Amino acid sequence: MKNLISPLILLFLVVGCKQDSPVPEFEALTIDEVSELNCNPEEENCAYISMNIPWVQNSGARNKTINKNIEAHVINLLDYQEENTFDNLENLSQTFIDSYEATSLEFPEYNIPWEASVEGRVLQNAPNIISMEFNLALFTGGAHGYASKSFLNLDPETGVVLSNREIFTEEFQKFAEDRFRKKHDIPSDQSINSTGYFFENDRFHLPQNIGFFKNKIILRYNAYEVASYSEGGIHLEIPKEEVEDYIKIL
């Protein structure tokens, strides 16, 4: 009897600890860098980079992993020069300002300030998923800037990034395609690109960015993903109760 009870007690303790794991407590991490070169604050004509994003303050391996994945996500959003690899957000911010100033000094006639901003917020901090939204605005010269909305979904127990395959069943893609076709008037007997979209290989695919709100999910295709820049971001909003059968993590 003694050998039987001990494993049961151990199992109870392990399960109890897992259930009692505290939820991460998010605060705002703010980083602002402004170049003094060709800067006129009164006219709001200065090069700058600004971030206001969720950040976990309490310690622990899980929370460090959450912060690491948030940092990697924001770096990926702001990595305007593909050859650069940034160790942290502070390094990225300083490099952004340094690159602007180097360009301005090399080309004195160039008097267009660069601008970059990322605003993030927590959409869900639930036992089954942590979902965050990030809004990016970026301009480094050219005809126009770039704006995007992205989502980051994390496992609340480990802090690791959850992929679409880990969140949804295989049947969800067909469900989402039917909804997409209905919203954008694409006949079911015609190809997904028949009305002007450019899905790769003319086959519907889920977007990289899917956000979880309290009562809905949003599928987001940013500019250039499946349509031209002029179309802007394309999103599909679905009530959560209609997709519960397709979500593995509920």
Superfamily of domain 164-246: Heat-shock cognate protein, ATPase (3.90.640.20)
What pLDDT is attached to residue 81? 61
Residue where the block lists tokens 């602002």: 32
What pLDDT is attached to residue 142? 80
**Of 6-10, 187-191, 201-205, which gets the smallest average pLDDT?**
6-10
Of 131, 222, 242, 229, nearest to 176 by C-alpha is: 242
Q: What is the DSSP string of 29-79?
A: EEEEEE--TT-BGGGTB--EEEEEEEEE-S-SHHHHHHHHHHHHHHHHHH-
What pLDDT is attached to residue 47? 95
Indicate if the pLDDT at residue 11 is higher than 90: no
* pLDDT band (50, 70, 90) for residue 25: very high
For residue range 55-109, list pLDDT tens digits in order: 998 789 999 999 999 999 999 999 766 665 788 999 999 999 999 999 999 988 8
**Of 91-100, 106-115, 169-178, which gets the smallest average pLDDT?**
106-115
For residue range 212-232, list pLDDT tens digits in order: 999 999 999 998 899 988 888
- Residue ranges per structural domain of the chain: 22-154, 164-246
What pLDDT is attached to residue 143? 79
* pLDDT band (50, 70, 90) for residue 207: very high
Q: Which CATH fold topology does 22-154 show?
A: Heat Shock Protein 90 (3.30.565)
What pLDDT is attached to residue 15? 42
Q: In whole angstroms, what is the distance from residue 203 CA to residue 26 CA? A: 39
For residue range 147-162, list pLDDT tens digits in order: 999 999 999 999 999 9
